[in-house]
Amino acid sequence: MSQAEITIEDQRAEALLSVSPSADYSTGGEDQDSKNVLIALDHISKTYKMGEFEIHALRGISLQIHKGEFVAIMGTSGSGKSTTMNILGCLDKPSKGSYFLDNEDVSKLSKDQLADIRNRKIGFVFQGFNLLSRTSALENVELPMLYLGIKNPERTRRAKEALELVGLGERINNMPNQLSGGQQQRVAIARALVTQPSIILADEPTGNLDSRTSVEVMEVFQFLNNERGITIALVTHETDIAQYAKRMVVFKDGKIKRDQLVKVRRSAKLELEQMPPIDFEEDDE
């Protein structure tokens, strides 16, 4: 791939994946009591300065997420969902409060240290997929492992395995524009999980998808959570989508307004079984 072919979207994806060469795979020490707490936000505030003004995006939120949870984060526009995800994902630092990830205080780490944690422990999935456009599904999924220094043939083996896991074993050589929106999002999910992160963070992952395709993507998330025990935090505007999660956290004006278990959980797999079958059309331009 030449430099000229790299778009701004590509650069964004790359920036999110860049890692310091010193990365290792240690998970850090864990005592028995706190073993299952993966994320602990304690009185987190985030204030953005805009000239003379201050925007209080988060006003002291405390939140724990345990290993194996599937949390939907909801709330009106501007309520602080993405700000929270950016902090959870070590893309941004809180102005106040502490953030423990896997029992490690990450709120005070430097930019480089955050990049290292991010690449080892966090898998990101965004609304816009953020795939490298002129790069095959397989190479897109290999990319984060390249940054982690994982060599071939291991890199390719793990990328293929991740693509098979999301149901794209037959499409590994397709370019993103040869895949449907749902398939592209599944490539992005494979890319997020291939480094075996502690948590997958998804910000509006179904925001660009039609309703059936959304259910298909939610089936992948439910499979990863139910069958593989992968912890997921997912931002959505839609209550329908939140009902595939196990727990719903609702934000309002930079605070957590509600935090409750999903009483009647939807099963994407069952719903898909009840829908008529479809062909995956290729999305050629």
* Residue ranges that bind ligand ATP, judged by CB under 6 A: 48, 50, 55, 57, 75, 77-83
Distance of CA 134 to the CA centre of its chain: 22
Strand, coil or helix: 16: helix
Between 22 and 77, name the residue whose CB sits nearer to ligand ATP.
77
Between 48 and 164, name the residue whose CB sits nearer to ligand ATP.
48
Q: Which residue has the tokens 């993405």?
A: 82
Report what 50 binds from Mg ion, ligand ATP, none; CB cut-off 5-8 Å by kind: ligand ATP
Report what 80 binds from ligand ATP, Mg ion, none; CB cut-off 5-8 Å by kind: ligand ATP
Beta carbon of residue 81, minimum distance to Mg ion (angstroms, whole number): 5
Beta carbon of residue 126, minimum distance to ligand ATP (angstroms, whole number): 12
Between 183 and 236, name the residue whose CB sits nearer to Mg ion.
236
Q: Which two tokens stand for residue 3?
A: 């430099």
Beta carbon of residue 234, minimum distance to ligand ATP (angstroms, whole number): 13
Strand, coil or helix: 252: strand
Beta carbon of residue 282, minimum distance to ligand ATP (angstroms, whole number): 31
Q: Which residue has the tokens 């998808």?
A: 209
Report what 78 binds from Mg ion, ligand ATP, none; CB cut-off 5-8 Å by kind: ligand ATP
Nearest to 117 by CA among 22, 190, 235, 233: 22
Report what 55 binds from ligand ATP, Mg ion, none; CB cut-off 5-8 Å by kind: ligand ATP
Between 82 and 174, name the residue whose CB sits nearer to Mg ion.
82
Q: Which residue is nearest to Mg ion (CB)?
A: 82
Task: Classify strands 37-50 and 53-66 as parallel, antiparallel or unpaired.
Answer: antiparallel
Cβ contacts of 42-45, under 8 Å, gap ≥ 24: 42/97, 42/98, 42/99, 42/100, 43/96, 43/97, 43/98, 44/84, 44/87, 44/94, 44/96, 44/97, 44/98, 44/99, 45/94, 45/95, 45/96, 45/97
Between 9 and 161, name the residue whose CB sits nearer to ligand ATP.
9
Residues that bind Mg ion (CB under 5 A): 82
Between 82 and 185, name the residue whose CB sits nearer to ligand ATP.
82
Strands of the sheet containing 37-50, edge to edge, are: 53-66, 37-50, 96-101, 104-105
Beta carbon of residue 82, minimum distance to Mg ion (angstroms, whole number): 3
